[in-house]
Chain A
Amino acid sequence: MRLEISFAALAASGAILAACGGSDTTGDSRAANDAAAGESRVVNIYSARHYDSDRIIYQRFTEETGIEINLVEANGDLLIERVRADGERSPADVIVTVDAARLHRAEQAGLFQPIEDQDILALVPAELRDPEGYWLGFTARARVIAYSTERVDPASLTGYEALASEEWDNRLCMRSSDNAYNQSLLASRIIANGEDAAEQWANGIAANLAVPPSGGDTDQIRAIAAGTCDASFVNHYYYVRLANSETPEDQAVANTVALYAPAQEYGGAHVNVSGAGIAAGAPNPDEAREFIRFLLSDEAQRVFAEVTNEIPARSGVTYDNPRVEAVAAWARDPVNLGELGDHTEAAVRIFDRAEWP
């Protein structure tokens, strides 16, 4: 009975949709289905990214290969749920997310097939991809310490751990712990120091907050410049964007704030990736491989570095963005990113207990 009602609902709304002169989006789905018939080549991309750099890359990919791109963009969890709900007939070819933990989760849910082309995998350093090749990172970002150049002596900075000490009491701004970037950072602390130490650390950070969390990473950087607090954890590209900006206000902010990445002896910088995998039931697996290969091409890697200030996953790519080059040279936490996903749930539980809002 339930099925009947919902079918009646769909049929009715479909009919009325046509009657109301609804927008015609069926053209796109036709394009998606035509691929199987071999009329034109397409690749269907489910992406959690939504940057202008990606649009440039999609356009060039289509120009160079003749493969059309169909795109859905949404937050990573919803995206994974959608692929799951699509079921066997999911049109998804490539799934892109902005966080290794999400990739790991999608892999655990059986949504990926392994990338078997060794030449593609070999382009990416081992710690930035799944050991079994289910997904790989194509750009990296560092989550490091932003500090006030007016009130903090960079020589006094060591690792992430030090910010939990009493000398930072009432001097930190942090983004909400609902944010996936903070969850991954804490997951990396769990791997480095164990759960108990990580929990103490999170408690210490929460106790040192000068203001309750609000806004995004850029807001934390601005708060440091405005004197609300002295340090925070931010993704490097938000700072680089302000520093590379032509707006005087942004430059003024960047001039009084700097980034510090923990040196190797303090564990190195925490990095995470934007990564991609080929969907288990991909209707266009060849095009999907071609697309992933293109993401790792010189051309695409350069666009990521120059337009969104991300670190290219491939080493040896040349690009014009000295600030990103400097970030790319930092020592990194050597953990394999797939491991982060194993500890995200524990990280969230620690955050819950730590009263880091």
Chain B
Amino acid sequence: MAVISVWRRRVGLPPVSVILAVTAAGVATLPLLAVLVLAVTGSGADGYLQHLASTRLPGYAANTVLVLVTAAAGAALIGTGLGWLIARTRFPGRSIFEWALALPLAMPAYIAAYGWLDLTLAAGPLGALPTVRGWWGAGVIFAVTLYPYVYLLTRDAFLRQPPHLEEAARALGRSGASAFLTIALPAARPAIAAGLALVAMEALADYGAVIHLGAPTLTVGVLRAWSGAGSLADAARLAVMIVAIALVLTTLERAGRSRARTAGQRSQPNRTALGPGAALLAIIACLTPLLLALVAPLARLAWHALHSEPARNVWNSSLNSISLAAVTACLAALFGLASAYALRSGGRFAAFPVRTAMLGYAAPGAVAAVGVLAVLGTLQSGLDRAAGGIFPVLLTGTVLALVFAYLTRFAAAAIGPCEAALGRIPPSLDEASHLAGAGPVRRFVQIHWPLASGGILAAALIVFVEVLKELPATMILRPFNFDTLAVVAHNYASDERLGQSALPALVLVALALPAMAIVARQAIAPKRIEVR
């Protein structure tokens, strides 16, 4: 607690946001610390890691690199291309595509993988196409479902670039393509890097899609060490490697983001109208990723849902999914907001908890769950020793463990948007309100909230979607008699009843899509706050 009071004195923040920011960092990092402890102190299976290093590890590493590179290349191409198209040109449907292009984020990669493998197997309706599997298949699935991270950030970056630079280059005789490559693209590089870091982190943490498509990455190795070799400690050691990769990606992301933000102010959009032929191509370019990420796999699932007996328990698990996602979204937004305030206060001391919170995002769900189990197990035995069993059994009695794990993984997803929302409020407003004698509460209620509420809502909805999609931590940490849509869909799919898993999967995506649409519309709304 001494730490907090020192911090308070140094940065002069209101106590609530400090406590919340530290709590957020604690929630995000404690389970990862527990995994680290397990990795360092746990006794692994005899020589298993050496054995793994000489057998599977190179393959896992190669797959990880290939999958991430394919996903990143695809996402960079699609995201940057569409970002530029939307920011710089005008064609019929542009204003709809502007937000609709973010919708693939609502599609869990594992559901897209189920749909695409089923479509393109030799006996499937698209059997003539190459079967979507292996590292390139997984890379493509991640590219089409995760490119919106790059799209949203680069679109923003292109809007910030003064359009006359590119126009000048063209007037000086450069071709359109050359002007794009030499002027627009280099300036958008930080935004692309930030988007790709998010793509890579999410692909790194995935288990469902890569295992189904037969492209085992390091995350699969973690589960294999645990379930095959029965060594949780060795699994933890591999997990630490993954989190280390995530650390590098987080650093890239933050570096990219901060440079992206200083790269200029948004200018008035000055869009080139496309001729009919080019407009048609632009529309096709926008429709293709939506078709690949959403329409094709969802149509296949809908076909399956119509051709098989209905899954049980879809209604109850929908309610469970929605309430869990809503509660976590509330909390994550609160943590995100607190962290954003801590960052706004400046200083390394504030940035540290926020940066560590980012790590949880790249931890595979099962790893986060093991960490949460370890933390809660320790806490439970501590409580029981101290109080003699008056506390309920934390794990089985409540959704607390589950919400804890979700926050570990997704609090980070809320910090970025909250930070961005607050960042748009000029500090001069704070000073003005201070001079006018307003306290921090009034400043928040009357000035910050009205200006930032859209961004905070977006932060909550992003977490809402992530929680809907989450599977491994949900499976293991949920209380008795508690199914969610992702769990029901997975249970049927793992029993190879794709038909019955289709309905819960469709409901899941149907819930995530409108949330994502609101996030997308919020993200593309004009961001400059005019101070007169």
Contacts and interface: CB of A to CB of B under 8 A. Distances in A.
Interface of A: 2-10, 12-14, 16-17, 20-23, 25-26, 28-29, 31-33, 44, 50-52, 55, 70-79, 81-82, 84-91, 105, 176, 178, 180, 183, 211-219, 222-223, 225-228, 238, 247, 253, 344-345, 347-349, 351-353, 355, 357
Interface string B253-282: 000000000000000000000000000000
A85 B377 contact: yes
8 contacts: A9-B30, A10-B394, A20-B326, A81-B232, A178-B224, A178-B228, A216-B494, A345-B228
Contacts of A33: 392, 397
B404 interface: yes
Interface in B472-491: 472, 475-482, 487, 491
A6 B479 contact: no
Interface of B: prevailing SS? helix
B119 interface: no
Interface of B: 1, 19-20, 22-23, 26-27, 30, 33, 45, 48, 51-52, 55-56, 59, 117, 121-123, 127, 131, 133-134, 211-214, 216, 220, 223-224, 226-230, 232, 307, 312, 319-320, 323-324, 326-327, 330-331, 334, 366, 369-370, 373-382, 384, 389, 392-400, 403-404, 407, 472, 475-482, 487, 491, 494-496
A135 to B, nearest CB: 16
Contact of A176 (B216, B395, B397): B216
B406 to A, nearest CB: 10
Contacts of B373: 81-82, 85
Contacts of A5: 22-23, 26, 30
A23 B134 CA distance: 40
Nearest to A214: B214
Given A28-B482, A178-B211, A352-B52, A227 B122 contact: yes
A17 B327 contact: yes
B133 A51 contact: no
B263 to A, nearest CB: 37
Contacts, number: 228
Contacts of B122: 222-223, 226-228
Contacts of B400: 10, 13-14, 17
**Highest count of chain B CB atoms <10 Å: which of A10, A82, A213, A349:** A10
B227 A89 contact: no
A44 to B, nearest CB: 7
Contacts of A9: 23, 26-27, 30, 404
A77 B226 contact: yes
Given A14-B400, A90-B393, A176 B214 contact: yes
B289 to A, nearest CB: 23
Contact of B123 (A79, A216, A226): A226
Contacts of A2: 30, 33
The 6 tightest CB contacts between A and B, nearest first, are A29-B397, A23-B323, A214-B214, A348-B228, A352-B55, A226-B122
A26 B398 contact: yes
A16 B480 contact: no
B83 to A, nearest CB: 33
A51 B55 contact: no
B403 A17 contact: yes
A214 to B, nearest CB: 4
Contact of B379 (A6, A79, A215, A348): A6
Given A3-B379, A13-B400, A72-B479, A213 B331 contact: no
A23 B318 CA distance: 12
Contacts of B376: 85
Contacts of B229: 345, 348-349
A352 B56 contact: yes
Nearest to B25: A5
Given A8-B19, A70-B481, A348-B224, A13 B331 contact: yes
A8 B26 contact: yes
Given A16-B334, A23-B327, A77-B227, 10 more contacts: A3-B382, A8-B23, A28-B479, A78-B476, A87-B381, A91-B396, A176-B216, A211-B131, A223-B123, A226-B127
A217 to B, nearest CB: 6
Contacts of B216: 176, 178, 357
Contacts of B319: 23
A23 B214 CA distance: 37
Contacts of A226: 121-123, 127
Contact of A72 (B55, B131, B480, B495): B480
Given A7-B379, A213-B214, A227-B122, A82 B395 contact: yes
Nearest to A86: B395
A225 B232 CA distance: 39
B392 to A, nearest CB: 6
Contacts of A13: 27, 331, 400, 403-404, 407
B350 to A, nearest CB: 17
A176 B334 CA distance: 43
A26 B396 CA distance: 9
Contact of B481 (A17, A71, A76, A213): A71
A75 B476 contact: yes
Nearest to B479: A25
A353 B213 CA distance: 21
Contacts of A75: 227, 475-476
A7 B23 CA distance: 10
B265 to A, nearest CB: 37
Contact of B392 (A6, A29, A183, A214): A29
Given A52-B312, A215-B212, A6 B30 contact: yes
B463 to A, nearest CB: 13
A14 B392 CA distance: 13
Given A72-B479, A73-B491, A77-B226, A20 B121 contact: no
Nearest to B381: A87
A87 B133 contact: no
Contacts of A4: 1
B354 to A, nearest CB: 16
Nearest to B56: A352
A97 B223 CA distance: 17
A164 B431 CA distance: 77
B404 A74 contact: no
B495 A51 contact: yes
A89 B476 contact: no
Contacts of B481: 28, 70-71
Nearest to A10: B400
Nearest to B374: A85
A89 B380 contact: yes
Contacts of A51: 495
Nearest to B491: A50
A288 to B, nearest CB: 15
Contacts of B30: 2, 5-6, 9
Contacts of A86: 377, 380, 393, 395-396
Contacts of A32: 396-397, 480
A217 B498 CA distance: 12
A28 B397 CA distance: 7
Contacts of B117: 214-215, 219
Given A85-B373, A89-B380, A25 B476 contact: no
B311 to A, nearest CB: 9
Nearest to B235: A77
Contacts of A20: 326-327, 330-331
B496 A178 contact: no
A154 to B, nearest CB: 22
B11 to A, nearest CB: 19
Contacts of B131: 211, 214
B62 to A, nearest CB: 12
Nearest to A218: B496
Nearest to A91: B396
B491 A29 contact: no
A12 B396 contact: no
A43 B477 CA distance: 19
B398 A25 contact: yes
A87 B55 CA distance: 35
